Amino acid sequence: MMKRRNSMMLVFLLMVSFCCSNNLQARKNDGFIAGACAVGAALFGIAGAVALADWCYSETDEQFITRVKAEYSDIYSQYYDSITYFGQLSGLNNYVSASYKPLSSVSESVLYEFATYVWYKNSTQYNYRYNLVVAKNQLQSGAQGLRKRIHALEKKHYKYENQQYLRMMRKLLNDIEEFLSYMTLFTDCLEHHKTYFNLYDSVDTIRTRYIQEITIFESGRYSVPAEIKLYVINNDSGQYAFKNFVSRIDKDIVALRSDIRALVYNYDARRQYANGLISYLVDIKNIIVTDPRYQEELYQWEQARLQRMHIEALEAQARAERDRIEVLHHQNMILSEHNRIEREKLWQDRRNNIVYSGDVEVTVNFTV
């Protein structure tokens, strides 16, 4: 449809460009006319090229409807159940037309239920929100395109084909806008509580990482310290198993504390759970830190670090010495070349003095 709509303008622009180009060749001596025609040819040529690109790569109304409908169907099938489930939990689906209901009124238990729902989908909370925003923006772009095409068709004479496309686009736009109203409210709510979901991600990830150590620790057996140490050693075949473990667990404790401080609202239950996890991690870390083997590893690692620094210093010194020798060699080459040039110059000067300089003495004897 759009290709046919642009075809007449395209033909006109190309014909004007062609005619002006021919006039320019035929009337080279007509300065003003030739110059004007050259400018016109250039401008119309550019416009014709733009119109040609637009004509070649634009979608017809039928192609556009098919694409947007497929995108809508895919997004709808992907998020409808989630939006409905969250709406049932929070009650926000009843407030689409009256979005004055504070998003902060959603209870923490609802957020926990939905975060767990996302977790069972094998997705992080962050990735879920990111993909949701991308999908929403895609639908909004499709709706905007539909509005433009509907507006353009409404200005046309209503042929049967146009009427069909117009009805299809109006129906599709109505469906998309209705779903977008739910989707936008859903997206805004998840974004409003993103600090809760970020902490949920961190707690879930870190607890999973130390699940075996935590399970051993929670058992309360007398042999807990020995079991945790043995587990750490068996899971790290390197030279510094205890040191590596303490380094990792320290970073995870810092990450959890950072996410707790970032919470916008109280979220008492999740905050308490995260602090409990931190307490477990600190106790497990202390079991390792108090072992004499940890101190021995620190000493060995520090000695190895100092040795590496010493070797690096020697290598740097050797590189500096090589660089110094290379500079001296380069200077000697320059000096040698300078001396060679000076010798050649001196030899040339002496040669010129012998040939062109010096007086010739002539003696004449007369006999009477």
Give percent of the chain with pLDDT exceeding 70: 77
> Which pLDDT band holds residue 278 (cuts at 50, 70, 90)?
very high
Q: How far is CA 138 from CA 188, 190, 334, in A?
A: 16, 18, 67
Strands (E) across the chain are located at none
What's the burial of 197, exposed, middle or buried (CB within 10 Å: 0-12/13-18/19+)? buried
Q: What contacts 138, CB < 8 A, 6 or more positions away?
A: 71, 75
Q: Quick one: pLDDT at residue 157?
A: 64
Q: What phi and psi values does residue 157 have, to the nearest 5 degrees?
A: -70, 130
Q: What contacts 168, CB < 8 A, 6 or more positions away?
A: 65
| Every domain of the chain and the residues it spans | 2-57, 61-192, 201-295
Q: What is the tens place of the pLDDT at every residue in 8-56?
A: 444 444 444 444 444 444 444 444 334 444 444 444 444 444 343 443 4
Q: What is the tens place of the pLDDT at every residue in 171-192?
A: 999 999 999 999 999 999 999 9
pTM of the model: 0.68
pLDDT tops 70 at residue 226:
yes
Q: What is the tens place of the pLDDT at every residue in 128-163?
A: 999 999 999 999 999 999 999 998 888 776 666 778
pLDDT tops 80 at residue 356:
no
Which of 199, 17, 43 has its CA nearest to residue 126?
199
Higher pLDDT, 317 or 27: 317
Q: Mean of the pLDDT values across residues 90-110?
A: 72
3-state helix/strand/coil string of 155-175:
CCCCCHHHHHHHHHHHHHHHH
- Say what angle helices 160-192 and 194-209 make with each other, to 10 degrees: 70
Q: What phi and psi values does residue 137 have, to the nearest 5 degrees?
A: -65, -35
